[in-house]
Structure 1
């Protein structure tokens, strides 16, 4: 079943086809760049929060270590 299209219809189909291809490429490019940017932002947030919590944990451990050293010194003075 062959259809004969007029020259105007052929031009419209070509323009719409090329426009759809360019649109698809643009959407793909934007989505890839958005994914890369969001991954970089997520990595940055993860690193900064890991550093923050590492500092908090270090402070807690140092408090316990100071208490242990004080108890050790007080026990050693009674020997």
Structure 2
């Protein structure tokens, strides 16, 4: 049985081109880039402080991972 999806190969040096593209985007529209990063940084800080206050520090890493996936999804959907 043939799978319904294709697995694409990613070149070993592809992440460098992704980083370069992100760097170009940041210099092209620095306000948007820095605001986007600041929003997720502040959200992460608030989550960490809030969870520490209620004694649920064990959830910090799990929620940080979920926040990172949400940021990536938002970036893909917003076209940035």
Greater relative CO (CA pairs within 8 A, separation 6+): 2
TM-score, normalised relative to structure 2: 0.34
TM-score, normalised relative to structure 1: 0.35
